[in-house]
Structure 1
Amino acid sequence: MNNVSTKTSYLIGLVFLLSGILYFFASNWQGMERSEKILLSVGLMLLFYLTSFIVSKSISRHVFLSHWTFLSGATSFGISIALLGQVYNSHADSYMLFIIWLIPVFLFSLITGYQPFYVMSLILLNLSIWFYLNPSSHTIYRTEGEMALLFLGFAILNLLVFLVTQKHWVASKLLEYLSFLAAQGFLFTATFLEFFPGFKILSFLLYLGFLAAGFVYFKKKEEKVLLVFTCLIGAAFLFAEFIDFSFTYMPELFYLLGFAITVALLAGSVFFVRWISKYESPDNKFIPFIKKIVTVTITIVASLIGMSSTLGVVFLATGLLENGIYMFGMVYIIIALFVKERIYTVKYTLLVIGFMISGGTAIVSGEWWHVLILAAVSLYVYLTVSSTIIRVFMYILLNLLLLTEFVKVTDAVEEALIIFAVLNIICYLFTKNILLKRSSYIVALALAFSLSFVDSSHQIFYYLYNAAFIVIALAALYRANQKDDHFERWGSGIFLTLYIGYKYYDMLWSLIHKSVTFTIIGILFLTIATYLDRASDKGQERKLSFVSRKASLLIGVVLLQMAFLSVQVFKSESILKNGKEITVSLVPVDPRSMLQGDYVILRYSFSTIPELSENGEYSQEIPDGDVVSVLLRENGNGIYQYGGNFAHDGKWMDPYEKQEGDVIIDGRYDAYNSVTYGIENFFIPEGKGSEYEGRKFAELKVGSNGDAILTRLIR
């Protein structure tokens, strides 16, 4: 075993260990007290940091291990913040959680220059933006103009990060690609908002120009990946705009317009290929790439528009007759087979339209003759065309068709997934054809991944399927690293990431059990890594970790993290100890938080302030997000409710005279007549939502400063 296997084992161990920690705290296990959970989470964070410092001094040949454990400590800090929100029932997935997490991570990136910290900072920044725009526990009302400005502002923020990478002030391709995609996502969305009359048309032209300028710029710099991203985003944008424009301005001519655009795109692609082919030469290897990516983009756009228009015409002509739709698709395929290969844009567009229509119909209908005919044609196209993308598409479609027919005949979903996964694994292991090897590799992983979510009639099989996926994906990752195969490394890494992330929401397997399983896997692989490390501990170069070089600055940031956690705990515990206990009425709902587990979303009788409604008595405008102090008074049944008065900027709506038992609670104005108080979430043990159904009251502790903590729900 070489150093690659050692690094892979350490990485897998840390990833599964961190996942196990996250799953454990998210499960809200009731076997530990609040203080024990907090101490455990902070202790784990400090343990990662301490391990990083120890490794940097004692195992200097493995700089990566010191860096990864320090990164794990920074990740654990985020878990600790989320845990505080859980144990004190504060905002679920609050954007402030990610901002607070972002600050020390960004400081770490500035201090160390370590690329993963920059990438983590960008991810946390955009998560903060996402939850600012889309709070999980309440609704914020914004006009389309406000949303457009926010999207443009966040796009500029990401473009600034992209510019930093383009200027090589920070050398990170992953940061470059992620910031570019995030910026494009915000700009893409903003073009569909009506900021002012004519904004959609203006933004369409400006964004199209922006994409064209990006294409020219990346072509000049020979940035292949960014060119691909730009073309794919352009394809998605043009298709989305076609749908939006057609249904908004000329729905009756939608299908005819679609056919006209498809023909125009194909004609344009033919002229483009002829024009750019004049500049091809042995010395300029970038021109063939440009030709390929542009023609692929045109094929995607033309295929989507052509398919939409064809389906519309077929529906109008035949209704929902599956045979009619299927035959229309076959007509496209037959025409494509007679088109010469040199006019490949036209040929491949017709093939894609035909196979998408007929393939979709065959899979949905399950008619055996639909499936068999199309499977035979797919195999023929796979063997005769030269396009790599079309051949991969044919391979995936062939698997889907045969899998569909197998399930229809046998009514055995699990067995079908197992058989086809095994067949693809065999194909991957024994074929010499690189295209077939990679196609079967992705299909095998996808089928094994799908199998891990099957609700088997026997629970033991469900666990066996999950174990099989983990073994297959990890074996594939080891093999890819041994061969230094980037495609297979990324493939297995993406599927493992999807598995760990999506398993969080899989209700068939409890979080606490997943936590134990992942923790055991993590410890096992760290043990394996340590063994491999000792076996190869000879002749390796000693390097100096940033943990050693920047120790004092890093310790300073860690102390800031500890200070923040301590202050938050102290403030919350003070409210619990000294705050006034009151009972209020509520209405709950039940989702799952991204980091904190299951929780109930609550609204209170005082979440709505009548005087702040459009026709209410209060005439002054309150900016969204401003603090509002709301008066609560006890009714005759011992329940606190809205006392008919509130204050903004220290000024009461009506003159206020304090009465015995009055409670003042602070919240934030959320537009219209809604106020949120930071107590809209009550975290519950996993799977116990039914036990909290019908609870109509909640107990709060309200501090003298207006802050509140939700302590329990009662019937």
Structure 2
Amino acid sequence: MVERVVKTGYLLGISLLVAAIIYFFAANWQGFDRLTKVALSIGMMGLFYGGSAVVAYTVKRHRFLSHWLFVCGAIAFGISVALIGQIYNSHADSFWLFLIWLIPSSFFALLTRYSPLRLLSVLLLQLTFWFYYFPSSYQIERSEWESFVLLLLFAVSNAVIFAISRSTMAYAAYIAMHGWLFVLFVIGITGEKFKFWPYAYALLFFALFYFLKRRSYVLLTGVFAGAFFITQYFRFVEQYFQEWVFFSGLLLAAAIIYMGALLVKRTMRRSSVSNATSASDEKGKVFVALFQALVTAVASALVVSSVMGLIALWTNDFSPYMLFLLAIGGFVVPALVWRKGNKVVRYTLLAVGYMLGAFSASGVSVFFLAGYSAVLAGLFFRSPIGVRIMTAIALSIYGAIIVSHWTDDFRFMLLVVLIFNGILYTFSKRKHERIVFLSLSFGALVLMTTDIADRWDVLFHILFVTALFGFLFFQKDRYERAVAWGYWWIFFVWKYYEYAWDLLHKSLTFSLAGIVLLTVTALFEKRKPLVFTEKSIFRKKGLLIGIIALQVAAIGYTAFSKEQLLTHGKLVKLQLVPIDPRSLLQGDYVRLGYEISTVKNVDERGTIQVILRKDEEGVYRFVDIYSLNGKLYHSDAYQTGDVLMNGKLNGDTVVYGIESYFVPEKTGGDVQRRARFAYVRVSQTGDAILEKVSD
């Protein structure tokens, strides 16, 4: 108990400090100049790496804390790279940011074999892939086969990691592999490309189901297979919208239920051959329950969409009361009465009934809905666990709809969901349903902390943090603590993207809370000294120190080269058109589209150097292409006084690397409205850096 409290306190405090640092730099506060910010970022890295070393050598009983601080140092390097991009207006969320961050993190993971560093490396690899294919600051047109090969390469890279890994990283890589295969599928059907891929993708699913033995991988494969079948079904609905499509959906749902039952039996039989322990039996029960839930979700989604489609085809004006009664009489009642039937079929009928009821609930009398909910609540305690969980979800939705008749404030609808599931969690004795009720409660609570600045907002924030800390510090069940930890990280992401409260103010609050929490934890532990047995991950200290030195050198050299360009580069005025989003790590920025970004009568790929010439208004305009892919193109068009600028040509669009202009928080709209020109420094070699924008 004491050990868990101490570790939790330290981890919460460290996470608050890291979040505070990210928020602070993302706020782009103008109180520090460029070099001060660079020095702060390097100092931040030194603080975490140095703190890790000090703890490792002076407080050896706290090796876990040393390891966590080292991970924070690896994260701090990424923050520093992002800060360099923000200070000198490099591309927002550039894949280079994550690639540069990935390289040392991967070496750290290999040298230390520490799971958090391995997971960080896998995450950075996915972000590198994502922002290479989907750059946020500019658009790239790719050919069909280039897109296919790239996305398939991303998936294969993760498949290789999955094949050679024997740690938790294998699960992350397997999920990422399927994620990229699914992205490939979605891009194909939305862009009408890779028309053969859906068939190959379906065959791949069948092959994986046939050869996979581990239940966890079968379950993960089932998640993506379900998403594939649902997406394919809606694709056919969009194309045809005919009776035969909806009847096919019903048949497909039946086939999925049947095949799911066979797959569960086959997987359990193959697993039981290699594992005969009681722990394996318990995991087998969990697998069956989760797979049944997955099959139920997929089949019920198909049935609901098919039923709604048939109703739309057969009737012009279908009463919500008729749909509500159909849901009750055609699906809910048979599912509740048929107690000895196949569980998946029964759960599917129940899910379809509850979903159809939710679709029509807003159109029926609130008293009718309340009466139906009361009957379901009465049957709740006499039902098996699967029915109870589904009924609890349905009652949460119905309760929120009932409250919506009296108030438009969605937070009070969520409050009903919170109270209802909180009561169920309190009185429930079964582990699995307690986790569901807890997840629903925390989900409602975190949504209640939305960006509405009023007295209720403060109250809901206090309630969320208090409840979360209570579970993290005092809950013994590790699965319930895992739910709380999950919502803790979700909370950080949620607060980063809300606008009611400034990032700078959040940063100050988080830093103060982190310092207080670390201090209280240290004082608490001082009263009860503990020794934590954990092996050190610092086996190759020389290599680790060398990588850290290279990180510092990379940050320093990049800042120095950018400052040199700002000092000695030629000032060029360009015309632009902006828009305004928020970066993943770097805060608010304005996307800039330049007049010189479009090159007519050219459809090439590669590096380009363009000729810019000043007009009568002092604005530099595109004249011609000086070189393309290292070869002279129209170099004779260059005149004395012209400026050569480097870029990347994609079709007829040039990307110069100056398409992002970072601004202080909540000022992007003003910049967007008034900005007409950009002032860029260009070196003698053609490299450009954005200095400022103006009207």
Cα deviation, 1:260-289, whole Å, max 9, x if unaligned, reads: 333444566678899999999996948766
Structure 1 residue 303 displacement after superposition: 1.3
**Which residue in the other structure is 1:236 paired with?**
227
Corresponding residue of 2:676: 696
Is 1:448–2:448 an aligned residue pair?
no
* TM-score normalized by the length of structure 2: 0.92
Shift of 1:475: 1.6
Secondary structure in 2 aligned to 1:656? helix
> Contact 2:106/2:117 (CA < 8 Å) preserved in 1?
yes
Q: 2:485 aligns with which of 493, 497, 503?
A: 493
Q: Deviations 1:29-77 (Å, cap 9, x if unpaired)?
A: 0111111111111101111111110000111001111110011011001
Residue number in structure 1 paired with 2:474: 479
Matched, 1:571 2:566: no
1:607 corresponds to which residue?
597
Most deviating of 637-646 and 502-511: 637-646
Match of 1:644 among 609, 624, 627: 624
In the alignment, what sits opposite 2:377?
379
Paired residues of 1:10 and 1:529 also in contact (CA < 8 A)? yes
How much does 1:200 deviate? 6.1
Instruction: Work out the CA distance in 2 between the residues paired with 1:466 and 1:287.
Output: 39
Q: Is the 8 A contact 1:318 1:324 kept in 2?
A: no
Amino acid at match of 2:600: P
**Superimposed CA distance per residue, residues 113-155 of structure 1 (whole angstroms, 9 cap, x where no aligned partner):** 1111111000000000000111001111113332222221111
Q: Structure 1 pair 465/192, CA: closer, same or farther in 2 (3 Å)?
A: closer
Paired residue type of 2:613? R
Alignment partner of 2:576 out of 586, 596, 603: 586
CA distance in 1, matches of 2:587, 2:63: 34
Change (3 A) 1:541 1:455: closer
Q: Does 1:462 align with 2:454?
A: no
AA partner of residue 136 (structure 2): S
Partner of 2:499: 507
**Of 186, 211, 215, which aligns to 2:209?**
215
Q: Give the aligned partner of residue 619 of structure 1.
A: none
Deviations 1:169-193 (A, max 9, x none): xxx22x1221111101122333456
Opposite residue 108 of structure 1, the aligned amino acid is F
Task: Kindly state the Cα deviation for residue 684 of structure 1 after the two structures are TM-superposed.
Answer: 0.5
Q: How far apart, in 2, do the equivalents of 1:584 and 1:92 lie? A: 20
Report if the CA contact (8 A) 1:247-1:254 is conserved: no
- Give the corresponding residue for 1:616: none
- 1:352 aligned to 2:346? no
Unaligned runs of 5+ in 1: 614-621
d(CA) in 1 for partners of 2:525, 2:636: 71
User: Equivalences for 1:487-566 in 2 at 5 Å?
Assistant: 487-537=479-529, 540=531, 545-547=536-538, 549-566=539-556
Q: Report deviation, 1:370.
A: 4.9
Q: Following the alignment from structure 1 to structure 2, what is the Cα–Cα distance between the partners of residues 95 and 657? A: 34
Pick closer, same or farther for the CA change 1:320–1:544 going to 2, 3 Å: same
CA 1:448–1:533 in structure 2 vs 1: closer, same or farther (change >3 Å)?
same
User: CA distance change for structure 1 residues 304 and 46 in 2, over 3 Å: closer, same or farther?
Assistant: same
The alignment-based identity, stated in percent, is: 32
Check the 8 A contact 1:633/1:643 in 2, yes or no: yes
Write out aligned runs for 1:662-673 (5 A). Answer: 662-670=642-650, 672-673=651-652
Q: 1:581: how far off?
A: 0.7
Shift of 1:350: 1.2
Instruction: Tell me which of 223, 244, 249 is aligned to 1:258.
Output: 249
Distance in 2 separating the partners of 1:130 and 1:696? 31
- Relative to 1, partners in 2 of residues 1:38 and 1:327: Cα closer, same or farther, differing over 3 Å? same
SS in 1 for 2:60: coil
Residues in 2 aligned to 1:224 and 1:268: alpha-carbon distance in whole angstroms: 16
TM-score by length of 1: 0.89
User: Quick check: 1:667–1:676 contact (8 Å CA) kept in 2?
Assistant: yes
Secondary structure in 1 aligned to 2:596? coil
Q: Is the Cα–Cα contact under 8 Å of residues 626 and 638 in structure 2 kept in the other structure?
A: no
Amino acid at match of 1:361: S
**Count of aligned pairs between the two proteins:** 685
Aligned match of 1:337: 336
In 2, the alpha carbon distance for the partners of 1:150 and 1:59 equals 48
Q: Give how far 1:430 is off.
A: 5.2
Deviation at 1:505, TM superposition (A): 0.8
Shift in CA distance, 378/120, structure 1 to aligned 2, threshold 3 Å: same
Letter in 1 for 2:381: L
Instruction: Give the Cα–Cα distance (whole angstroms) in 2 for the partners of residues 209 and 179 of structure 1.
Output: 21
Worse overlay, 60-69 or 333-342: 333-342
Distance 1:642 1:405, change over 3 A: same
Q: 5 Å matches for 1:409-424? A: 409-418=406-415, 420-422=417-419, 424=421
Q: Is the 8 A contact 1:579 1:701 kept in 2?
A: yes
Q: Give 1:315 shift.
A: 1.7
For 2:484, the aligned partner's letter is S
Structure 1 residue 660 and structure 2 residue 640: aligned? yes
Give the Cα–Cα distance (whole angstroms) in 1 for the partners of residues 515 and 101 of structure 2. Answer: 26
